[in-house]
Structure 1
Amino acid sequence: MRFKTVAVGGTFDYLHRGHRTLLEKAFECGEKVIIGVTTDHFLSKLGKLVHNSYEERVKKLREYLLTKYPSERFEIQPLDDYFGPEIFHEEVEALVASTETARRVEMANRRRVEMGLKPLEVVVVDMVLAEDGRPISSSRIRMGVIDAEGRVRRNE
């Protein structure tokens, strides 16, 4: 493990293979992982639709994590903006992000420096591709194009 504490964030609407890959990388490089889960309120402000409520998404995420990691290794926090309060804590050393969200880290680091904190290191995880070569995403699962493993759903 390279870092004492890392942060990772997401909506985690359908806990798919891409999410699991991102989380595995976070636990691989951090002793403790702070996971920010986007709140329903923030999603509503962004005009985004989800299938599961915040409470249901957190419940499913916690259940999954407990099958792989002891509860002392992670903390789940609400994410009410793009960064969440956890990345402005001094103990957070790195942010684990997908190629899609890594660009936001520069903004977060500017804010951290203004607050007198060290900039975060960034661990970038490539988007996981479905069997059709496009990224696995909750929106594609919601539309019925692919399943949570990235398999294309065939019309029967």
Structure 2
Amino acid sequence: MKVMVGGTFDPLHDGHKRLITRSFELAGREGSVIIGLTSDTFASAKSHPIKPYPVRKANLERYILDQGFPASFSIEELNDRYGSALDAEFDALVVSEETLPIAKDINILRKERGKRKVDIHQITCVLAEDGRWISSTRIYRGEIDEHGKLLNEP
């Protein structure tokens, strides 16, 4: 199965790891995963600082290789919220609760372009110790670490 997933992945936290792991599980041994990694320009809209694209890409590659996932993978630069997902031939898109609306938009736009609908697989967001989502913004604010452990008491 050919699977797509996308994000900024900075810092690479447990929620991102769940998203990536699920993508590789769906792809299976003979499948492939295409990871859209936001460009520096596109990521600059974030409310917190972002590491440069080459650093984020290297961190992502290191994590994937360390996990030993059997499926092949490639990383492509995302310059907008859809990337190649509007025109590429693939089977499934893996998203979080937060990015589910984008996946639905992708299928609408694919239909308008005469492309077949892709399956959408939504993971649940990973919760921090306080029961709120782990997010890059919260990590950059110093509220939690990449595993959701509280760093500062509210």
The number of equivalent residue pairs is 150
Partner of 1:109: 107
After superposition, what is the alpha-carbon deviation per residue over 1:17-54, rounded to whole angstroms, capped at 9, x for unaligned? 0000111110001121100011111123x354333111
SS at match of 2:67: coil
Partner of 1:8: 5
Partner of 2:67: 68
Q: Which amino acid aligns with 2:19?
A: L
After superposition, what is the alpha-carbon deviation per residue over 1:58-97, rounded to whole angstroms, capped at 9, x for unaligned? 011001111123686111011111111145212x111000
Work out the CA distance in 1 between the residues paired with 2:34 and 2:87: 12
Q: Which amino acid aligns with 1:18?
A: G
Partner of 2:147: 149
RMSD over aligned Cα, in angstroms?
1.6
User: Is the contact made by 1:7 and 1:36 (CA closer than 8 Å) also made in structure 2?
Assistant: yes
Cα gap change, 1:119 to 1:42, in 2 (>3 Å) = same
After superposition, what is the alpha-carbon deviation per residue over 1:106-135, rounded to whole angstroms, capped at 9, x for unaligned? 211122112221111100000100001000
User: Is the contact made by 1:35 and 1:76 (CA closer than 8 Å) also made in structure 2?
Assistant: yes
User: Is the contact made by 1:8 and 1:35 (CA closer than 8 Å) also made in structure 2?
Assistant: yes
Paired-residue identity, %: 39
Q: Which amino acid aligns with 2:82?
A: F
Work out the CA distance in 2 between the residues paired with 1:61 and 1:107: 26
TM-score when normalising by structure 2: 0.90
- The equivalences for 1:5-154 within 5 A come to 5-30=2-27, 31-44=31-44, 46=45, 48-69=47-68, 73-90=72-89, 92-154=90-152
Q: Which amino acid aligns with 2:87?
A: F
SS at match of 1:14: coil
Cα gap change, 1:79 to 1:71, in 2 (>3 Å) = farther
User: Is the contact made by 1:40 and 1:54 (CA closer than 8 Å) also made in structure 2?
Assistant: yes
Q: Which amino acid aligns with 1:126?
A: T
User: Is the contact made by 1:33 and 1:73 (CA closer than 8 Å) also made in structure 2?
Assistant: yes
User: Is the contact made by 2:6 and 2:35 (CA closer than 8 Å) also made in structure 1?
Assistant: yes
User: Is the contact made by 1:34 and 1:86 (CA closer than 8 Å) also made in structure 2?
Assistant: no
| Unaligned runs of at least 5 residues, structure 1 | none
- Answer with 77-86 or 92-101: which moved more: 77-86
Which runs of 4 or more aligned residues in structure 1 lie more than 6 Å from their structure 2 counterparts after TM superposition? none
